[in-house]
Copies of this chain bind each other. A is one copy, B any other.
Amino acid sequence: MGEQDWRVGALSEMYRIRAFEEQSADFYRQGLLGGSLHLGIGQEAVAVGAVGALRSADQVTMTYRGRGQALAKGVSAAAMFAEMLGRSTGTSHGKGGPMHIYSPEAGAMGTNAIVAAGIPIAAGLALAAQLDESDRVVMTFFGDGAVNQGAFHEAMNLAAIWKLPLVLICENNLYSEMTPIREMVVQDDLADRAKAYAIPAAVVDGNDVVVVRQAAEEAVQRARSGQGPTFLECKTYRLVGHMLGDPEVYRTRDEVERWAANGPLVRLEASLVRDGRLTAKACEEMQAAAREEIQAAAAQALAEPEPDVAQALTHVF
């Protein structure tokens, strides 16, 4: 795939994710969603760059913030919206919700509401890939705060000793909820954590989809060829609160604006325009098309029925 092609496709995918997240926020503000909503606005380059390195048979685990990654992995927007709206056509018939998106056909093996819990599960998916003697690769997404959970470490060690085909993507968006990561670890780079297990690691600009993709390709290649796990720290930033309703008192408007100016969409647009691959107008059109697609998915989901209450009692075991 030429660079030209994939960057344009990547931009389109990032527009889709952005539109998906904005539509989700709309639903939330309209009171149509339960619980809390955690958006990945500003982190689209990580989702698209990293997942872009995967094949359809590969698998991912994610967090409560991971619907953008699921979308990139091929999960239907309409089915995810339906899930978030609690409808019977949702990925889990409305019984899971936004924090529990499963779409095994697409290789999306769960968003997760427990910090770091998806990492050992991903290690197990990778173990299965290895035992199957397949060349499947597993990718797991988690935040900066997750590196302080025991489960992260236990999974890192398993990945190292079993040489699992696992790519660990740490989205360092500088905060875990309202807490700056710089107060909760002593190093600047979370990639240092990988040294404890002699796992190859890299720190990349997570707002640049090109470098994310490049690093992810290398990591995936390593995993696919039996050379074991890689840890990628993607430095990024969420341009919205931890969740809808977050008053964001822990950071300055100035900081947010600096990062917005450095956001993954504007950067990719600028570079594509600069390189003469796309015009500003073409970008606008692509974005509009993405919005339209997502809004159609939203409308479709909204039209779906809720599940019968009898379904509350099924599939317990």
A: which residues have CB within 8 A of B? 148-154, 157, 160-161, 183-187, 192-198
- Least Cβ–Cβ distance between A248 and chain B, in angstroms: 23
Q: Which residues of B contact A197 (CB under 8 A)?
A: 185-187
| A188 nearest CB neighbor, chain B only | B198
Across the two chains, which residue of chain B brings its CB closest to A148?
A: B157
From B148, B152, B183, B196, give the contact of A193 (CB < 8 A). B196
Please provide the 9 A-B residue pairs with the shortest distance between their CB atoms, ordered closest to farther: A150-B150, A196-B196, A153-B153, A195-B195, A193-B196, A160-B186, A186-B198, A150-B154, A148-B157
Nearest chain B residue, comparing its CB with the CB of A183: B161
A153 touches which one: B150, B192, B195 (CB < 8 A)?
A: B150
Known contacts A192-B195, A192-B198, A196-B195; is-contact A161 B149 (Cβ 8 Å): no
- The answer to whether B148 and A154 have CB atoms under 8 Å apart is yes
Residues A149 and B160 in contact in the complex (CB < 8 Å), given A198-B187, A198-B192:
no
Closest residue to A184 on the B side, CB-wise? Answer: B161
Contacts A148-B157, A150-B149 given; indicate if A192 touches B196 (C-beta within 8 A).
Answer: yes
Contacts of A194 in B (CB 8 A): 196
Residues of chain B contacted by A198 (CB below 8 angstroms): 186-187, 192
Give the docked Cα–Cα distance between A152 and B152 (Å). Answer: 12
Complex Cα spacing A150 to B192, Å = 17
Alpha-carbon distance between A193 and B150 when the two chains are bound, in angstroms: 13
Bound Cα distance from A161 to B185, whole angstroms? 6
Which chain B residues border A154 with CB–CB below 8 Å?
148-150
Residues of B within 8 A of A153 (CB): 150, 152-153
Min CB–CB distance A199 → chain B (angstroms):
8
Find chain B residues with CB under 8 A from A157 CB: 148, 184-185
In the complex, chain B residues whose CB is within 8 Å of the CB of A152? 150, 153
CA gap between A150 and B154 in the complex, in Å: 6
Bound together, the chains give a CA A160 to CA B193 distance in angstroms of 13
Q: Residue on B with the closest CB to A157? A: B148
* Contact residues in B for A196 (Cβ distance below 8 Å): 192-196
Across the interface, which residues of B come within 8 angstroms of A183, CB to CB? Answer: 161
Q: Tell me, rounded to whole Å, the shortest Cβ–Cβ distance linking A89 to chain B.
A: 38
* Chain B residues with CB below 8 A from A195, complex form: 192, 195-196
